[in-house]
Structure 1
Amino acid sequence: MLNNHTVDALRGLRLTAMAEAYLRQMQDPTLQGLSFEERFGLLVDHEVTSRYNQRLGKLIREAKFKVQATPEEVDHRPARGLDSALIRHLTSGQWIAAHHNLVVTGPTGGGKTYLSCALETAACRLGFSVRYYRVSRLFQDITLSKADGSYSRLAAKLAKTDLLILDDWGLASISTSDGRELLDILDDRTSLKSTCIASQLPVEMWHSQFADPTVADAILDRLVHSSYKVNLQGESMRKLKSPLLENEESAI
């Protein structure tokens, strides 16, 4: 009876994981020989782990990554041109805490999106809020939010997100109106939050993608000078991982 009261009290305090762990302790004779401090420590650890996992799951869902990727799975083959020390630093999240930016460039299929999402998974593990966007989809959401009156909420959410990922940067020319929208978003984040840009175009070609050169100057000034840079090299990762290629190699 006392056990039931304790379980109900824990659940009432929203310590659900601790309540479930307490019930399992009562049913596991191997734990009866532990001291009170040891058993209580196990309960607290279980609650902390459960809350961390719930928080992490929420952050990853809200990030809306294009691909599920982890830093442990990043391919560090020398041909890709990755600086392992830099990747370890980026995985630590210190650049996000310092409000720096990240620019990932490389050829089509080179793994820019995967690397970006892997680093952003690492950011979620550290408790940072993240949001992934393809640039074209961001402009679509801005247009729709202005039409339905929700733009202020979208702008506020983008402004407070710790790390904003903008993928497929420079895939299409950016009009004057879209450039100004982008400038507003980045201006709210400058020196306060971090932005990751993934692009198949080298940085020196970005300026020409904007219809308004003045807007281009302002945007690149906010992004490039305070950014870490990763330039991926080598063949397309899609090609290297293609089942057709594996079959051809096995037939040789």
Structure 2
Amino acid sequence: MLTHPTSERLTALGLAGMARALDEQRRAGPTYEALGFEERLGLLVDREAAERDTKRLTARLKFAALRQTASVEDLDLRTPRGLDRAVMAHLIDGGWTLRHENLLITGQTGLGKSWIACALGHKACRDGRSVVYHRVPRLFEALALARGDGRHARMLKAIAKLDVLILDDWGLAILAPSERRDLLEILEDRHGRGSTIVTSQLPVEHWHEAIGDPTLADAILDRLVHNAHRLQLSGESMRRKVTKPLDLGHQA
């Protein structure tokens, strides 16, 4: 079947979604013939808008580089680990990111801190927010390299512009002087302009010690903690698989 000239023109104009929808309407024949002109045009426009939304979401997710493929629809609220349904519904709603509030997720390893952070990051991408995921140790390594080749200021500027920044595995070691300064710069630039999600095995009350310098710790935590929501996870590791050994002595 030859391509219709109208479809070719729509494609040339960058309206590939409308072109595909028009071809589908043409092949469907009587299914669409009963519809009026504006109804059929509306279906074409809806298709174009949907395909563009999908492309933008795909680009945002690729840019976010989330560590885990997670979505809020798959969130496990049955396993006991301190998750409150009302609190999670509030976080999933996403209004806190519009208010540039932060989120601190703490608890022992294996409780799903990173998964929850990535699920909320995925939801923020779906809501049209710019998101980027970083493991804190690797972020500091990247900033150190950027300082050496002249990209440091540009990298900090890019981080400052994000709607949602995910800092995973915070507090694994006491910060070096350059890391403290970088963290303060990041949080100062983002304060009141973007939301930051932090995950840590370390309870918030010990973060001051993990920063290492009392003066910088006060400045960093003032910008991070005072407007933050908190999820304190507890319970047994979700990675632990409890399997009962096969009792051969009781087999028939």
TM exceeding 0.5: yes
Match of 1:117 in 2: 118
Match of 1:97 in 2: 98
Residue 1 of structure 2 corresponds to residue 5 of structure 1: no
Match of 1:128 in 2: 129
> 1:251 deviation in Å?
4.1
In structure 2, what residue type is equivalent to 1:23? Answer: D
Deviations 1:155-195 (A, max 9, x none): 11101000000010101111122101110111000011110
In structure 2, what residue type is equivalent to 1:61? Answer: K
Distance 1:185 1:109 in 2: 28
Q: What percentage of residue pairs aligned between the two structures are identical?
A: 47
Distance 2:151 2:177 in 1: 22
Q: Against the structure 1 CA distance between its residues 110 and 78, is the aligned structure 2 distance closer, same or farther, given a 3 Å change threshold?
A: closer
Distance 1:220 1:194 in 2: 14
Structure with greater proportional helix content? 1
1:144 is paired with a residue of what secondary structure? helix
Q: Against the structure 1 CA distance between its residues 26 and 141, is the aligned structure 2 distance closer, same or farther, given a 3 Å change threshold?
A: same
Match of 2:19 in 1: 19
Q: Give structure 1 stretches of 5+ with no counterpart.
A: none
Deviates more, 1:86-95 or 1:5-14: 5-14
In structure 2, what residue type is equivalent to 1:209? Answer: A
Deviations 1:49-100 (A, max 9, x none): 1111111111111111110100011110261111111111111110000000
In structure 2, what residue type is equivalent to 1:45? Answer: D
Aligned residues: 246
Distance 1:250 1:5 in 2: 69
In structure 1, what residue type is equivalent to 2:178? Answer: S
Match of 1:79 in 2: 80
Distance 2:159 2:145 in 1: 15
2:4 is paired with a residue of what secondary structure? helix
Match of 1:147 in 2: 148
Q: Against the structure 1 CA distance between its residues 106 and 39, is the aligned structure 2 distance closer, same or farther, given a 3 Å change threshold?
A: same
Match of 2:53 in 1: 52
Q: Give structure 2 stretches of 5+ with no counterpart.
A: 248-252
Structure 2-normalised TM-score? 0.93
In structure 1, what residue type is equivalent to 2:10? Answer: L
1:198 is paired with a residue of what secondary structure? strand
Any conservation in 2 of the 1:176–1:210 contact (CA below 8 Å)? no
Match of 2:222 in 1: 221
Tell me the C-alpha RMSD between the 2 structures: 1.8
Distance 1:249 1:122 in 2: 37
2:166 is paired with a residue of what secondary structure? strand
Deviations 1:182-238 (A, max 9, x none): 101110000111101101111001111122111111101100010000111111111
> 1:32 deviation in Å?
2.4
Match of 2:89 in 1: 88
Higher radius of gyration, 1 or 2: 2
Any conservation in 2 of the 1:174–1:210 contact (CA below 8 Å)? yes
Query: Which stretches of structure 1, 4 residues or longer, exceed 6 Å deviation after superposition?
Result: none
In structure 2, what residue type is equivalent to 1:85? Answer: A
